[in-house]
């Protein structure tokens, strides 16, 4: 194990110490990657569950059929202003604007004057 040369014991010890440090470093990186991957997977699963629950929440069924009105967009109109005008303060405007977007298959909230929108009268 030890040779007769002076300083060779220190050399052997330092090599072993370097190997231990390297092994610890590799294990630390490996552990970090495993924990990160587990966190990422948990985040993805939680997002899918939350998204699924929000899409599955259906409005309560009422006895009367849904009624709609067709609104022509005027210059300066926004989804918010149209929802406020139609709901007369009786509905949550956030829900109504989202509903108008879905009903009209709008990719964004950008409206053009003269555009016709189908708007639900009751939530």
123, two tokens: 């939530």
Helix (H, G, I), strand (E, B) or coil at 70: strand
As a whole number, mean pLDDT of residues 3-15 equals: 60
Query: What's the CA gap between 83 and 22, in Å, rounded?
Result: 63
Model-level pTM? 0.47
Mean pLDDT of the chain: 80
Q: Is the pLDDT of residue 114 over 90?
A: yes
Q: Is the pLDDT of residue 109 over 80?
A: yes
- Residue 3: pLDDT band with limits 50, 70, 90: low
CB 108 within 8 A of CB 77: no
For the chain, what are the domain ranges? 1-58, 68-120
Q: Is the pLDDT of residue 2 over 80?
A: no
Fold designation for 68-120: Membrane-bound Lytic Murein Transglycosylase D; Chain A (3.10.350)
Query: What's the CA gap between 98 and 25, in Å, rounded?
Result: 50
- Residue 12: pLDDT band with limits 50, 70, 90: low
- Residue 20: pLDDT band with limits 50, 70, 90: confident
Better-predicted residue by pLDDT, 8 or 30:
30
């Amino acid at each position: 194990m030890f040779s007769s040369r002076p300083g060779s014991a220190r050399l052997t010890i330092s090599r072993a110490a370097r190997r231990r440090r390297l092994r610890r470093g590799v294990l630390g990186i490996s552990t970090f990657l495993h924990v990160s991957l587990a966190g990422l997977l948990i985040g993805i699963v939680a997002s899918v569950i939350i998204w699924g629950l929000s899409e599955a929440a259906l409005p309560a069924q009422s006895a009367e059929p849904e009624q709609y009105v067709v609104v022509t967009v005027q210059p300066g109109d926004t989804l918010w202003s149209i929802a406020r005008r139609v709901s007369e303060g009786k509905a949550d405007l956030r829900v109504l604007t989202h509903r108008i977007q879905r009903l009209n298959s709008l990719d964004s909230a950008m409206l053009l004057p003269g555009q016709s929108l189908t708007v639900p009268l009751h939530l």
